[in-house]
Amino acid sequence: MKAANYLNIIAEQLHSYMAFVFPTENGIFQQGTAPCQKARIVLEWFEEHTDEFHLMCWAPNSPDLNPMEHIRNVMERQLRAQTPPCPNISNLRDRYFDICYNLFSVRYQKLMASMPRRVAAVLKAKGGATRYLVGGHNVLAFQCILMLSKNISFWKKTF
């Protein structure tokens, strides 16, 4: 996608979305690091609107605490492991929903229950490697947790 196209979408949609999700105007908009998202015109637009919301760049497949990344990886592995391969889109969709249904009922609940331990591990490691991320760093997650801890009393009481 071209940066100008991305900016048009953001400019048209983001204000109403952020106003709905964050009515007190202190929201954080998270986007990836695709070239169109890192383009100068896009970043300048976000600079002009910092009084409405803050921008947080977050690399795709980053070593963060998002449980959905783990879920997506598991789902992809399960889809690829099934043989024979899906002969058509309809069959692929059916397999996808079967995996979703079976996976979410147990694994997602376990992942969500592990979040306090994951957050505590990232805080203790000050963004460094944890057992939840072997060989990498949780710097982005650590920065996010610190930013949230300034605004949300829940984090202060929990950790």
Per-residue pLDDT tens over the stretch 115-139: 888 878 877 877 666 766 544 445 4
Residues 69 and 54 in one domain: no
Residues 91 and 129 in one domain: yes
Tens-digit pLDDT profile for residues 136-157: 445 455 555 555 555 444 444 4
d(CA 72, CA 104): 11
Q: What is the DSSP letter of 16?
A: H
Tens-digit pLDDT profile for residues 73-104: 788 888 888 878 888 888 888 888 888 778 76
Residues 133 and 76 in one domain: yes
Which residue range forms the structural domain that includes residue 118? 63-141
d(CA 11, CA 9): 6
Residues 42 and 82 in one domain: no
135: alpha, beta or left, given left = phi > 0 and alpha = psi -120 to 50?
left
pLDDT of residue 45: 94
Distance of CA 16 to the CA centre of its chain: 20
Residues making up the chain, counted from first to last = 159
Q: Is residue 81 part of a domain?
A: yes
Residues 44 and 5 in one domain: yes
pLDDT of residue 142: 53
pLDDT of residue 64: 54
pLDDT of residue 159: 41
Residues 69 and 26 in one domain: no
- As a whole number of Å, the CA-based R_g of the chain is 19
Residues 74 and 132 in one domain: yes
Tens-digit pLDDT profile for residues 17-60: 888 888 887 788 888 888 999 999 999 999 998 888 888 877 65
Number of domains composing the chain: 2
pLDDT of residue 90: 86
Residues 33 and 2 in one domain: yes
Q: Is residue 8 part of a domain?
A: yes
Q: Is residue 44 part of a domain?
A: yes
